[in-house]
Chain A
Amino acid sequence: DVKVTQSSRYLVKRTGEKVFLECVQDMDHENMFWYRQDPGLGLRLIYFSYDVKMKEKGDIPEGYSVSREKKERFSLILESASTNQTSMYLCASSFPLGAGDGYTFGSGTRLTVV
């Protein structure tokens, strides 16, 4: 019954490395999102995509990029990882216009940059 799958549960990377976080959904959702979660700050939107090859910046896009080559897959890329990118990363997907049951979240990737 898995609907939104994030490829890694835990990752440890070195400063300066290029990091890929992968997210796959099987619900045929048009919209996909990447959030980061930090204590006391809630979830903050990094990037979202409303269609294949389309992307829009969220509230905190600096230091990140994304790729959506297929409808079901949305990748978050840290071009040169830094310690301040240590965080929990959550992927989500939804139909447009808030249809259906809203947003479905993946299980999260806890990234540590050392």
Chain B
Amino acid sequence: ELKVEQNPLFLSMQEEKNYTIYCNYSTTSDRLYWYRQDPGKSLESLFVLLSNGAVKQEGRLMASLDTKARLSTLHITAAVHDLSATYFCAVDMEYGNKLVFGAGTILRVKS
């Protein structure tokens, strides 16, 4: 059974500092997704990582995937208040037929 673990589950960030969220998963997969969710809203797709060594960047967020270590990281550079949200990683099991989510990481950026 595929398990996906995120840590930390809560991250209180100071503006302009750097932070990393970790996503570990338990079985072989080479498809990993990062989503953002604002309070009361649905999930917004951030990154789709489809191969070992994949790295994608959008603004202050950068995601990477190491399929051998079964680890993805979401790195936040110079945090700003707009990044406050809950971030989920999800691993694609059986190639598009089942997505398993981590518990989510709540990010709060303190002014």
A: residues with CB less than 8 A from B are 31, 33, 35, 40-45, 48, 50, 58, 90, 92, 94-99, 101-108
Cβ contact within 8 Å between A99 and B96? yes
Partner of A98, one of B35, B92, B103: B92
Task: Give chain B interface residues in 62-87, CB to chain A under 8 Å.
Answer: none
Other than the given A45-B99, A97-B95, A101-B48, 5 more pairs (CB < 8 A) read: A97-B96, A98-B96, A102-B45, A105-B43, A107-B42
Cβ contact within 8 Å between A42 and B42? no
Q: Bound state CA distance, A107 and B50, in angstroms?
A: 25
Let me know if B33 is at the binding interface, CB within 8 A: yes
Report how many A-B pairs have Cβ atoms within 8 Å. Answer: 61
Interfacial chain B residues near A95, Cβ < 8 Å = 96
Q: Bound state CA distance, A95 and B104, in angstroms?
A: 24
Q: Bound state CA distance, A41 and B9, in angstroms?
A: 10
If over half of B's interface residues share one DSSP class (helix, strand or loop), that class is named, otherwise mixed; here it is strand
- Write the chain B residue with the least CB distance to A30: B96
Q: Bound state CA distance, A103 and B44, in angstroms?
A: 10
B: residues with CB less than 8 A from A are 4, 6, 9, 31, 33, 35, 41-43, 45, 48, 50, 88, 90, 92, 95-104
Cβ contact within 8 Å between A103 and B99? yes
Closest Cβ of chain A to B27, distance in Å, is: 14
Q: Bound state CA distance, A33 and B100, in angstroms?
A: 11
Q: Bound state CA distance, A50 and B22, in angstroms?
A: 30
Q: Bound state CA distance, A112 and B88, in angstroms?
A: 24
A-B pairs with the 5 shortest C-beta distances?
Answer: A98-B96, A43-B101, A42-B101, A42-B103, A105-B43
Q: A102-B33, A108-B42 are in contact. Are A96 and B97 (CB under 8 A)?
A: yes
Q: A40-B103, A58-B98 are in contact. Are A98 and B45 (CB under 8 A)?
A: no
Interfacial chain B residues near A44, Cβ < 8 Å = 101
Q: Bound state CA distance, A104 and B90, in angstroms?
A: 13
Cβ contact within 8 Å between A105 and B42? yes
Interfacial chain A residues near B88, Cβ < 8 Å = 42-43
- Write the chain B residue with the least CB distance to A40: B103
